[in-house]
Each structure stands twice: as C-alpha cells, then as structure tokens.
Amino acid sequence: MSPPQNEMNRPLAALLVPDLLELLEEAPESIGPQTEEMHPADLADVAEALPEAQVRAFLAALPKERAAEVLEYLDEELRTQVLEELSAREAASIVAEMDPDERADALDDLDEETADEILSELTPDDKAETERLLQYDPYTAGGLMTTEFVSVDETLTVEEALRAVRAVARVGRREAMYTIYTTDANGRLRGVLSLRELLASPEGARLSELAWTDVVSVPPEMLQEEVSQITSNYDLVALPVVDRDKHLLGVVTVDDVIDVIQEEQTEDAQKFGGMEALEDPYMQIGLWQNVRKRGGWLAVLAVSEMLTASVMARYEGEIGRVLLLSQFIPLVMSSGGNSGSQATSLIIRAMALGEVRIGDWWRVVLREIPAGLILGILLGSLAFVRILIWHALGMYDYGPHSFMIALTVGLALVGIVTIGSITGSMLPFLLKRLGFDPASASAPFVATLVDVSGISIYFGIAYLLLRGTLL
C-alpha cells in the first residue's frame, strides 16, 4: 500500500520512511534509541507517512510512553485504526501512558465494545479517571479538560508547597505544571499562582496570603467555543473547570484551546463558503462525501437563484425595450452580493470574538445603514461617471438619454449596496435567533438573497426614471 498523499507535505517524514522501513525489517529494537531526540509530533508525521500496515509495527518498536506521546499527535482516523488492530491488552498498555484527556478522546473515537475492552485492561484508577472524562460531551469544557494539574492546600507554606510540587513532578509529567491551584480542605478552588510566583515567594509565607483569589473558572458543561473565548480574553495558559460547589475537576490547557480555535475557524470558513463542515482533512475525504457536503447547499442556492430568474421575468418587457439596462445587471447584482458578504463576514467574526451579541442587532443596523449608503454612493458615482465618460469619448453610444441611464445605474447601486449591507449584517442575527450556526450565512447564500431584491430595486428605479422616454 502506498503512503498517504499528505506525505508530500512532510519532507522530513518522507526522507525517513525508507530508512525506517529497513529498520523495521532488520532491527526494530534500534528505532527507539535512534528516534529518542525527535519530537513526538515529528514521529507522528513519520507514522502517517508509512504504509498503513507498518504503523502498528513502528509504534510497537517504541517504548510504551513514547508510543503514547506519538499516538496523541496521530491523525484521529489512523489512531482509531491502530487501536482497533491491537489487542485490548496491547492498546491498554499504550493508552495508559497518555494524558487522561487524550486517552478519553482516543477511546471516545472507538466503537463502544472496543473501548470497553480496553478500559477493562486499565488499572482501576486509570479506568475510573477515563470513565469520568468520557461522561462529558467532547465539545464542552469537561470534554477538553485534563485531570493532570497541580493543586495544593492553601494552608501550606511556600517550602511545603514546593516539596509537594516536586513530588508531583517526580511521579510523572503534568500538562498544567506551570500553574498552581490552591484548594481548601474539601477540594474547593480558592486561589491560583504561577510556578514562578511560588519560587519567588518569601520563605515561611502561606499560600493563602500569596495566591490570587479572583480565579477565572468555568463549569464542565460550558461549550468549547465559550471556553476558547474566555481563555483568549484573560490570556490564560490553563483554565480551571469546577462543579457547582467550586470543587476543582480539571483544567483546560492552552494547547487544547488552540486546537478548538483552529477547528472552529476551519468549520466556519467551510460553512461560509457555502457547504457543510468537513469532519476530516480535505485529502482524506472520499468522492461521495465531498459531493454530499457540497451538493445540499448548491441545490438550495440553485433553487434560490430561480427566484432571481422569476423576478427578471417580471421585468421582461422593460429589458426587451431597453437592452442597455441588461448590460449593467451583473454589476448591480455582484455589487449588492459583495456588500452583503462583507457585512456578513464582519458580523460572524464579531460574534465569534464575543464583540457582538444577539441583543446588539439594532446597534449593528444603525452602523450599517450609513456605511451602506456611503459605499453605495461611492460605487454609484463610479458607475455614473464611467457611463458618461464612455459616451462622451465615443467608446459606446448610450443614446440621447445617456445621462438618465447613468443616473439610473448610479441610484440603483446606492440602494442595492445599502440593502446588501443591511441584509448581510442581519442574517447572522436571524440564524442565531432561530438556533442555527451564524456561520451558515454563507457568502453564496447572502449573494443569492441580495440578487432577488437587487433586480427589483434596479428595474423599479429604471421604471420611475425612464418612464415616458425609453420605457
């Protein structure tokens, strides 16, 4: 089986594959020592560049802890495939070395029977910890959090806290090692301080005197989009997750937040392009999945464009009498659609960043009306001047009523661009109110919506200005 196509985008992995294949055949025991200086992410790239049949052997050649680190960076589909091919005991020996949140994510991607078999091979503590994480929706704070954090009793002195932190560090790695949380005797979150602050604190001081008590925390059911927003707003490297009684359940680390942001931006970009979001990378989706994700929206947009055709049919007589008007239909329609798409993208982005909420719709309207008018006047003026110059220079004969034609096109652009800005800015609010993702207000959809109103405005103005002359 040939390596995946994404091998081409990983030159280091592609260079190492021939040597690794040779080592797997002749001396697999040497792979671990020879790759110990490589980052797990690079090793994951190597694994993804190998023929699928060799990935399992490659991971088996690595120390268990090293294989677990590689598995955390591995493509989800390939990771699932590898775990399904391993025996329950073999899989458990690797996932037991993974971070608790990564372990839960890996098992959540498996079918229930396989996941249960692997869970049964874990130690009671690891099993209980993993099952606790699996109960949360993967797209919430509970689904993102890790239980590997450092917390100490608030009554400890600096020296006692440092000894406790050292003891935790010696046991094994911790994702959130640089942030120290203080708790009371019942495990309730009381304060937070950085490892640097702890190291720099005077000897003999109590943590209750040193820790920041105004701790930003979130409940486990909070959606991941809100988690990423809070992390960004407060510039946090770790965000504690607490229950209703403020018991510390876990922390969401910044690396997971970055993954969420990337995932959400990718999904929004795809939706805004007029298609369903893809669950897998583009190069990994099949033909029919590609068609299915794009075909639905294209069909909806095609039906919507038929409304435009119906409106144009309504003005068939006017178009027939003044063919000059038809020249500017593409200009009118595209200008309105472009204006609407700009406004939509601005509002969707503002919503994603928390700058605009659904109750701010009227403020947005008050901003978009003057903005749309100014932009419309700008484009309308350009079209007005262009028509008159073209006529004056003899580049095109618009007839004795060239001024009125120019005025018609100019005024139509003012109206269409203004309407486009208002429509494009309000559509995300409407979708959010109806319970849909605002990103579903795709650029093609907005353009189609504006086309219908644009044609009506254009020929309505033409009828008013040219009646009795050309019409």
- Phi–psi pair at 333, nearest 5 degrees: -70, -45
pLDDT of residue 39: 87
For 358, phi then psi, to 5°, come to -60, -30
Q: How far is the first Cα of the chain from the last one, in angstroms, to the nearest whole number? A: 70
CATH code for residues 5-125: 1.25.60.10
Q: What is the CATH code of the structural domain delimited by 282-466?
A: 1.10.357.20
Does the domain spanning 144-253 belong to CATH 3.40.50.1370?
A: no
Report which residue type is found at 169.
A
What is the pLDDT, as a whole number, of residue 368? 92
Please tell me if the domain spanning 5-125 has the same topology as the one spanning 282-466: no
State residue 466's pLDDT score. 84
The predicted structure's pLDDT at residue 9: 43
pLDDT value at position 7?
41
Q: Count CB neighbours of 282 within 10 A.
A: 10
Contact predicate 246/417, CB 8 Å: no
Q: Where are the domains of the chain?
A: 5-125, 144-253, 282-466
Per-10-residue mean pLDDT, the chain, length 471 = 41 71 83 87 87 86 91 89 91 92 92 93 92 92 92 94 88 74 94 92 91 94 91 90 95 88 65 52 58 57 57 59 75 84 82 82 92 93 92 86 91 92 88 75 68 82 81 61
- What distance in Å separates the CA atoms of residue 103 and residue 452, rounded to the nearest whole number? 52
Q: Tell me the whole-structure pTM to 2 decimals.
A: 0.63
**Alpha carbons 282 and 284: distance in angstroms, whole number:** 5
